[in-house]
Structure 1
Amino acid sequence: MHRVPLPLPNDGLHAVNVYLLENLAEDDGIVMIDGGWTVPEARKALEEAMAGLGRDLGDISHILVTHIHRDHYTNAVELRRLLGSQVYMGAGEQPGLEMLDRLRNYVPDSSLRTLSEAGAGELVDRIRAMDHGAYDPDVWEAPDRWLRAETLRFGGRELHVVPTPGHTQGHVVYLDEQRGLLFSGDHVLPHITPSIGFELAERGGRPLADYLDSLRLMTRYADTRLLPAHGPVADSSHTRVAELLTHHDNRLTQTLTALGEHTRDAHTVALRLAWTRREVPFGDLNAFNQMLAINETAAHLEVLVLRGRVAVAFADGVNQYTRVR
């Protein structure tokens, strides 16, 4: 099993990890976890990694994608076109792919709708005016197989497909119980918590509540080594899951404190919170990260509503939140 960081263009995360698994497929092909972003520098890095194994790109027989975001999916589709590799992805991503084909752009409509309902109409205009990258329909084809909760078998090895909605509706992780490995995609990351419900399609379910449920689901399996899509490998998936659950518990408390005793929208609450591990003020974030921050604040307020701590009323197109006494 080999971890290969592939570079990302203009992205704060810098790289996405793909994993090359040898001696799995019956045809001696390599099974690859996640595909990367289809940019020339990523292709070059992958070719060099394969050469270091005495292999070439043609040996990649299967690509198992964790979710639909560009840095995970687009290069998988491109490699399939070049090599004939089989691409698998979670069935929950099908609505997003269909929506993307209709929109023909990368403007995150569902996130912008959340912004509008959060009272951040001016930010919606700024996000729409941004350059989100040229839409390339060739890299948004359907996978060869839509995955549900099931077990994939490659030779004598098994990989369990575990749906983990939250980051996206159709996010899945791949669990190798025999060797104690969890290929966690963006579900469990070693140093950051992923954005919640970042969808181009309409959001399904309640993203943060779903994410917390998906985190707790990981503890029902034996502890494993954590193989994330971003950042270094970690020894214990359970340890990191516990840290993420604690983080969100703390964030829920901070969100309730920021709401205070007044009725406020999610935008106003987000302004009263600090962001990232460096405790950056909301005003110091760029427009894209302000969008993520408001979307995350709305998600935390939604969980507080579900828990009976906050009441919500929809008025003049905006959700207004009030603490329940």
Structure 2
Amino acid sequence: MSLDRGKWATGGPETVAPGVHRIPLPLPNDGLRAINVYLLEEPEGLVLIDAGWSIPESLTVLEASLVELGHRLDDLTDVYVTHIHRDHYTQAVELRRRFGTRVHLGAGERPGLELLAALRTDVPVTSLEVLRRGGAPDLASRMAEGYGEFDASGWEPPDRWLDAGTVPLRHPLRVVPTPGHTRGHVVYLDAARGLLFSGDHVLPHITPSIGFELGEPGLPLGDYLDSLRLMTTFPDTRLLPAHGPVAASTHARAEELLDHHDKRLAETEDALGAGARTGYAVAERLTWTRRAIAFDDLNDFNRMLAVNETVAHLDVLAARGRATVSEVEGVARYALTGQVSEQAPKKPATAWNDSLGSHGRSG
């Protein structure tokens, strides 16, 4: 069956190719509404791409969807996860605990998962460090509060760490590292059937948050843009995303996302030209989501995402030589190349960015 744009999150299982089914699973208190997991019918059993957030409602919907398709939960043999975020990974661990399902995860996620186990906290500590570097210490302090006791049950290591290569299924899957949303994000390319299981790397209607994870942030937006360009070097495929409906062309959406970030970099330059000097000050001058929400009207979680993404854009400008950056008491201060660094009063802008539609909670 074919689902329209408004029903992708609640419409039940959708057959997207022979032996391939999209199953939307609910998310708790999340603006994304649902996550798509993909069921592959294999001769030896059932394979999932991503698994969902480990909550009772999600497992109930997954079980009912499998029954509708003529299967059972204990028919699941393997889960191939695109990245470490809670809505993709934690139910894979629960399926293994209950049914012995094998769990596979990109090797690039290993440092983040090990750090999560060592720190034993749900607080997004790396993102808070970016907030402080971005000139938002008060926001960082507020975000550090309100997290409950850490639950380690969903963060066990996978059975297998995946490097770039091929998964030997009936229709082989190519494992393609696509760092950016997280450092170890991978996509799974089914070239024979012209399908790309894109996780959060390429989404049809929103842009993913960048670098929302534990560990050294590096240059996540630069990595993400390189990973988007990589998608256009493969033959075009249907896009099977983790959030949103199936789309006809991976190439078309990748080009749209590259164009979006080019525009966002230009808007960031404009804010520097008007006198903003920190990630927080630049974020205040921009508007957010397709509804052009003012920064002051965002809740604290989305303000954190906004500042983190603004710093990511500023760091790319600096890496490209279009801006300079200096550290003053732990705060990064930016200026256009050749521009005198001085702080101007806040002035709202009218740029838009839809990236806050996609979260990236690792804890």
Please indicate the TM-score interval, normalised by the length of the shorter structure: over 0.9
Q: Secondary structure in 1 aligned to 2:168?
A: strand
The TM-score, its normalising length taken from structure 1, stands at 0.96
Cα separation, 2, equivalents of 1:235 and 1:309: 36
Q: Give the C-alpha shift of residue 151 in structure 1.
A: 0.3
Q: What's the Cα RMSD here? A: 1.0
**1:177 corresponding residue in structure 2:** 191
**1:158 corresponding residue in structure 2:** 172
Change (3 A) 1:47 1:134: farther
Q: Give the C-alpha shift of residue 212 in structure 1.
A: 0.1
Q: Give the C-alpha shift of residue 202 in structure 1.
A: 2.9
Is 1:195 the counterpart of 2:180 in the alignment? no
**2:126 partner letter:** S
Is 1:19 the counterpart of 2:35 in the alignment? no
The C-alpha deviation readout for 1:49-75, integer Å capped at 9, x for no partner, is 010111100011110000000000000
The TM-score, its normalising length taken from structure 2, stands at 0.86
**2:308 corresponding residue in structure 1:** 295
Moved over 2 A (4+): 200-203
**1:44 corresponding residue in structure 2:** 60
Change (3 A) 1:37 1:134: farther
**2:333 corresponding residue in structure 1:** 320
Q: Secondary structure in 2 aligned to 1:223?
A: coil
Cα separation, 1, equivalents of 2:168 and 2:68: 26
The C-alpha deviation readout for 1:190-229, integer Å capped at 9, x for no partner, is 00000000012332x3100000000000001000000000
Q: Secondary structure in 2 aligned to 1:305?
A: helix
Q: Secondary structure in 2 aligned to 1:157?
A: coil
Is 1:8 the counterpart of 2:56 in the alignment? no
Cα separation, 1, equivalents of 2:321 and 2:188: 34
Check the 8 A contact 1:118/1:265 in 2, yes or no. Answer: yes
Cα separation, 2, equivalents of 1:201 and 1:6: 29
Cα separation, 1, equivalents of 2:243 and 2:258: 19
For structure 2, list consecutive stretches of 5 or more residues without a partner in the other structure: 1-19, 339-363
For structure 1, list consecutive stretches of 5 or more residues without a partner in the other structure: none
Cα separation, 1, equivalents of 2:30 and 2:274: 38
Q: Give the C-alpha shift of residue 259 in structure 1.
A: 1.3
Is 1:146 the counterpart of 2:157 in the alignment? no
Cα separation, 2, equivalents of 1:134 and 1:109: 15
The C-alpha deviation readout for 1:272-321, integer Å capped at 9, x for no partner, is 11111111000000001000000000000001011111000011110000
1:34-113 paired onto structure 2 within 5 Å = 34-113=50-129
Cα separation, 2, equivalents of 1:194 and 1:166: 9
**1:260 corresponding residue in structure 2:** 273
Cα separation, 1, equivalents of 2:92 and 2:126: 25
Check the 8 A contact 1:193/1:244 in 2, yes or no. Answer: yes
Q: Give the C-alpha shift of residue 140 in structure 1.
A: 0.6
Q: Give the C-alpha shift of residue 104 in structure 1.
A: 1.1
**1:234 corresponding residue in structure 2:** 247
Q: Give the C-alpha shift of residue 263 in structure 1.
A: 5.8
User: Pick from 199, 215, 221: which aligns with 1:208?
Assistant: 221
Cα separation, 1, equivalents of 2:135 and 2:171: 50
Cα separation, 2, equivalents of 1:152 and 1:322: 46
Q: How many residues align?
A: 319
Check the 8 A contact 2:276/2:282 in 1, yes or no. Answer: no
Q: Secondary structure in 1 aligned to 2:135?
A: coil
